């Protein structure tokens, strides 16, 4: 395996042309896409289906229109994505777990007039009330109805278009919007990120130049395509570099996923730490031994997860870091077995090629600096409620993360600027507080938040699903391990389950509300 150098010239194409390039380089008949239904599509199949479906969508939309996509990861969602690209429409990947208010807000910001979905998905997810609510503001189009209208003439036309795709696909500029995604909303309302074709293609090329992928390896992606990690890393990366990918509609099927990974002989798994840990615990026998390595992002990788994969399956975990605004990958560890590769646990690896950084001081925080990034993968700007775009200043994106970078270039995430509490004038990392709790109760999930305190400015509250969680045990651990006692939470709230988003990230907005309500009730009593 040889890593190809990062070539900026390869990024100057639209997403559909990048697919056509991969088709030419790999071979049109190459089986490249599969999902849980075990239906396999080749590049030729994807292009042909994109033109057939695109022809029908074209008749009901305007050039350049933003079209909502409300579908789970799978063959259907991928074909819809490229159908919109083929006809010059912009996909808006909607988070179906975000609730009606956030979805409606996303549609207003992106000027979405039509949402594409499927009866099968709506029925399986029991989303009928949501769709009825959305239908008051936008037109909801069900793909089953669209496909029923495809006749022989449409299919023959699609065959011709697939044979001469560049003559029939909509012309586009690599700097035009390629997709609109919304940030996860872990700490507040989701924000719309306008990612160009070149942004996404650049991130694919950056990752391919950073990590060598064997041509025969099979990727497995259970992450949602409304999340940038699931879209770029788990779906478009393999498709645009000629590697087969198997998509799964939900990361929450902990027993089914290890079985399917074994059945399809997957070599690369994309996941979050939370999901990966559950897959390993649910796997039977050697089901995950076919994996070469797992790429984990969106949250910190716990030592317990790393040890579990190594002990049971001999599988290496590569922790990475990104942001929707950067399409999303910014840094990732490399397999230690590959030439020049290095995997340093506790870090998110080295920066991808082509990324420029700036480290800014943060008042009150001495360990680490605020990370600013710029590069071909960084978005043009945020969508505004009036349909405009808030441009980045000189192309710099403020990640809001406090990081440190060692002499070898490995990046460590200390925490988000918002994820610090100021206690008696001293800044305390809420991520560090969660790390203390994880050390005491490694099999459980924890979330730390800050609340106002009349005497010290702020105080730290820990929410945990560990039945025996309490401050005394964390204090004892801190004293034994030389950890700062100021970071020991003075109050611990026990809950049955920590709220999470559809991507697996902790839902800190809901956690904050839970804590506020619990303390209000306690004060009233």
Residue-wise pLDDT for 286-301, tens only, equals 999 999 999 999 888 9
Whether 380 and 440 share a structural domain: no
Tell me whether residue 2 is in a domain: no
The answer to whether 95 touches 71, Cβ cutoff 8 Å, is: no
Whether 388 and 434 share a structural domain: no
At residue 55, the pLDDT reads: 95
Tell me whether residue 410 is in a domain: no
Domain final position from 357, 376, 405: 405
What is the Cα 167 distance to its own chain's centre?
34
Count of Cβ atoms closer than 10 Å to residue 450 Cβ = 22
Whether 351 and 491 share a structural domain: no
Residue 228 sits in a domain whose CATH number is: 3.40.50.12780
At residue 188, the pLDDT reads: 52
Apex 498 CA angle, 496 and 501, nearest 5 = 140
For residue 52, what pLDDT band results from cuts at 50, 70 and 90? very high
For residue 360, what pLDDT band results from cuts at 50, 70 and 90? very high
**Three-state secondary structure call for residue 166:** helix
**134-148, 354-368, 421-435, 493-507, range with greatest mean pLDDT:** 134-148
Whether 202 and 137 share a structural domain: yes
At residue 2, the pLDDT reads: 55
Structurally, how many domains does the chain consist of? 2
Domain final position from 405, 434, 449: 405
Tell me whether residue 64 is in a domain: yes
Query: Alpha-carbon distance 161 to 376, whole Å?
Result: 31
At residue 458, the pLDDT reads: 78
* Residue 199 parent element (H or E): helix 197-210
Whether 181 and 221 share a structural domain: yes
Whether 169 and 235 share a structural domain: yes
Whether 103 and 236 share a structural domain: yes
Q: pTM value? A: 0.85
Tell me whether residue 336 is in a domain: yes
Domain containing residue 343: 8-405
Tell me whether residue 419 is in a domain: no
Whether 84 and 176 share a structural domain: yes
Condensed to tens digits (0 to 9), the pLDDT of residues 211-249 reads 999 999 999 999 999 999 999 999 999 999 999 999 999
* Closest to 6 (Cα-Cα) out of 232, 206, 214: 206
Tell me whether residue 413 is in a domain: no
Whether 13 and 109 share a structural domain: yes
Whether 510 and 376 share a structural domain: no
For residue 486, what pLDDT band results from cuts at 50, 70 and 90? confident
Domain final position from 378, 405, 432: 405
End-to-end CA distance of the chain: 65
Higher pLDDT, 520 or 343: 343
Whether 84 and 117 share a structural domain: yes
Bridge pairing between strands 66-69 and 114-117: parallel
Return the axis-axis angle of helices 75-86 and 43-59, rounded to nearest 10°: 60
Residue 428 sits in a domain whose CATH number is: 3.30.300.30
Tell me whether residue 299 is in a domain: yes
User: φ, ψ for residue 328 (rounded to 5)?
Assistant: -120, -10
Whether 98 and 197 share a structural domain: yes
Query: Alpha-carbon distance 519 to 525, whole Å?
Result: 10
Q: Dihedral through CA 79, CA 84, CA 88, CA 92, nearest 10?
A: -130
Q: Name residue 423's beta-bridge partners.
A: 426
Higher pLDDT, 444 or 411: 411
For residue 425, what pLDDT band results from cuts at 50, 70 and 90? low
Query: Alpha-carbon distance 204 to 381, whole Å?
Result: 20
Tell me whether residue 29 is in a domain: yes
């Amino acid at each position: 395996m040889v890593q190809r150098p990062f070539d900026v010239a390869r990024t100057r194409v639209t997403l559909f042309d990048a697919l056509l390039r991969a088709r030419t380089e790999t071979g049109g008949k190459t089986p490249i896409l599969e999902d849980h239904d075990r239906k396999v599509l080749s590049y030729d199949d994807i292009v042909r289906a994109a033109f057939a479906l695109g022809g029908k969508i074209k008749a009901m939309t305007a050039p350049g229109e933003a079209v909502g996509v409300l579908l789970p990861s799978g063959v259907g969602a991928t074909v819809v994505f490229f159908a919109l690209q083929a006809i010059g429409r912009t996909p808006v990947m909607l988070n179906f777990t975000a609730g009606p208010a956030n979805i409606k807000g996303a549609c207003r910001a992106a000027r979405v007039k039509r949402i594409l979905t499927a009866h099968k998905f709506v029925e399986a997810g029991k989303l009928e009330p949501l769709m009825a609510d959305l239908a008051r503001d936008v037109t909801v189009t069900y793909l089953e109805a669209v496909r029923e209208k495809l006749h022989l003439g449409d299919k023959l036309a699609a065959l011709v278009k697939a044979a001469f795709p560049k003559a029939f696909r909509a012309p586009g500029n690599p700097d035009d919007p390629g997709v609109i995604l919304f940030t996860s909303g872990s700490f507040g309302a989701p924000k719309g990120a306008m990612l160009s074709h070149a942004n996404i293609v650049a991130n694919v090329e950056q990752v391919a130049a950073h990590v060598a992928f064997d041509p025969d390896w099979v990727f497995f992606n259970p992450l949602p395509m409304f999340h940038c990690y699931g879209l770029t890393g788990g779906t478009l990366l393999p498709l645009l570099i000629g590697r087969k990918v198997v998509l799964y509609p939900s990361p929450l099927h902990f027993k089914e996923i290890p079985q399917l990974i074994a059945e399809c002989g997957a070599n690369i798994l994309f996941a979050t730490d939370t999901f990966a840990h559950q897959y390993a615990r649910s796997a039977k026998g050697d089901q995950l031994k076919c994996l070469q390595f797992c790429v984990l992002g969106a949250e910190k990788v716990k030592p317990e997860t790393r040890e579990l994969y190594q002990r049971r399956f001999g599988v290496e975990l590569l922790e990475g870091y990104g942001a929707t605004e950067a399409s999303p990958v910014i840094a990732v560890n490399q397999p230690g077995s590959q030439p020049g590769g290095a995997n340093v646990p506790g870090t998110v690896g080295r920066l991808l090629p082509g990324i420029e950084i700036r480290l800014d001081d943060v008042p009150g925080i001495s360990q680490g600096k605020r990370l600013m990034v710029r590069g071909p993968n960084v978005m043009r700007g945020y969508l505004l409620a009036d349909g405009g775009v808030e441009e980045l200043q000189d192309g710099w994106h403020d990640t809001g993360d406090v990081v440190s970078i060692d002499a070898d270039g490995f990046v460590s995430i200390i925490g988000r600027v918002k994820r610090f509490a100021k206690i008696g004038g001293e800044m305390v990392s809420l991520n560090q507080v969660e790390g203390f709790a994880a050390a005491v109760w490694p099999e459980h999930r924890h979330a730390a938040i800050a609340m106002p305190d009349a005497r010290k400015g702020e105080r730290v509250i820990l929410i945990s699903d560990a039945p025996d969680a309490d401050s005394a045990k964390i204090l004892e651990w801190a004293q034994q391990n030389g950890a700062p006692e100021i970071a020991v939470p003075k109050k611990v709230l026990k809950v049955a389950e920590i709220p999470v988003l559809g991507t697996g990230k902790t839902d800190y907005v809901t956690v904050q509300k839970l804590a506020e309500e619990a303390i209000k009730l306690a004060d009233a009593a």
